[in-house]
Amino acid sequence: MQIKTLGPAIILALAGCFVAWQFVNPAPPDTITIATGQPGGAYLLFAERYQAVLAKEGITLNILETAGSVENLQLLENDRDSVDIAFVQGGIAGTTGTPELLSLASLYYEPLWVFYRGTDSLTRLTDLQSRRIAAGEPGSGAHAVAMTLLEYNRLNSGDILPLGGQQAAEALISGKVDAAFFVASVQSPLVQKLLHRQDIQLMSFARADAYTRLHHSLSHITLPEGTIDLQENIPPRDTMLLAATANLVVRDDFHPALVDLLLQAAEEVHGDGSLFDQPGYFPNDRNLEFPLNDDARRYFKHGPPFLQRYLPFWTANLLDRMKIMLIPLLTLLIPLAKIMPPTYRWQARKKVYRWYRELKSLDVEHPEQLTADALQTSIRMLDAIEEDARKVTVPLSYSDELYNLRLHIDLVRSKLKKGLVNRIYSEKCE
């Protein structure tokens, strides 16, 4: 009885769900690729940490080594099949085209380190006049910002070499160049190595504020005396540095569910702070290279989605995608909720009412007027009705109707038996 009642409702609900399924967002990919930088650089080191965090949620992060930020932007724009996300240094967007790219977050300060040979205290880039300068590998963010700063000081026509990363460090140590530009985190092994060499000095930008006015993507930060090594007092004095901000950049078709997951990973990797920022300062939505992704904006305003706070990523994502299924279900369930109770009551009483119709046909006003065979047939039909009634199961709230039916069967049976007795007695008397 219940199946007959609920069956049509279930079929309608399933049909509605099937239609709604056509509008459910596709599942996020389980493999993505990030463009990083050169071996030994901060981008690559941080990407490896992201890789470990995402692996816990069932996401495989492939790491693509590149020359740096400029190449990363070009890959995002032109090679959609190979790169999904990239680390990008702030202030270099003008070196490439204008792809439909969006920022997810600012991640950390990327100090500009200008190391030079000698013991002199150099505080201006003009002091590097006529010296051999390693200005970073073309395609890197270090090269882009180095060339911009050298142009400000009219040093772009000297002996500038396209060396970056480990090659530039080795050239500086060996004396093949006199100065070298690096954009890297303070944790970079390359930076740490150069800071601890006595024959290599770190430039302090005396005119740091001027550069931040000319190049708005740069910030003025200070490396306090002794911060790197208190025992060796490295650096030997407060050092003023310029810093870009590393951005996490994606295309505008990046899956929204992965935005939340990546920002959670960014909080885990960058949220503890560094020498230049307080814990919790990064990641943030400041100093962005491109417009902020809408899902990232919601994340910074409200935090992770509710389900992702308590459930594994894939479970939370499935439930979130299924929310569209609630629309047809609610559309069907609201009217069904009004129709189902009376329908169910009718189904529960339907068979009882049929038996009452049969019982009414057997309930004659003067049973003694019937033949004995007809009365016996009617009594057997009553027994059959009673037997069927015993086999029927109805909800407790409708059991009184079955009890009433049995009482009425007994009443009619008594009436028919009495008529049968009278009929038999009458026939004997005759």
The structural domains of the chain, with segments of one domain joined by +, span 36-304, 335-429
Question: Using 50, 70 and 90 to split pLDDT, how confident is the model at 2?
Answer: very low
Other beta carbons within 10 angstroms of residue 264's beta carbon come to: 21
**What pLDDT score was predicted for residue 333?**
64
**What pLDDT score was predicted for residue 140?**
84
Q: At what angle do helices 256-270 and 313-321 cross, to 10 degrees?
A: 150
**What pLDDT score was predicted for residue 322?**
66
**What pLDDT score was predicted for residue 17?**
58
**What pLDDT score was predicted for residue 3?**
46
261 SS3 class: helix
Global pTM exceeds 0.75: no
Q: Facing residues of 111 across strands?
A: 243
12 Cβ neighbours under 8 A, 6+ residues apart: 332, 336
Tell me: domain 36-304, CATH 3.40.50.2000, correct?
A: no
At 159-211, the pLDDT tens digits run: 899 998 889 999 999 999 999 999 988 888 889 999 999 999 999 999 999 99
Q: Facing residues of 31 across strands?
A: 60
pLDDT over 60 at 4, yes or no: no
Q: Give the lowest-confidence range in 11-15, 107-111, 423-427.
A: 11-15
Q: What is the dihedral of CA 336, 341, 346, 348, to 10 degrees?
A: 120
Residues 243 and 247: their CA atoms lie apart, in Å, by: 13
Q: Facing residues of 220 across strands?
A: 242
Which residue in 143, 203, 199, 147 sits closest to 175, CA to CA? 199
At 283-297, the pLDDT tens digits run: 999 888 899 999 999
Tell me the H-state helices in 153-222.
165-174, 189-195, 208-214
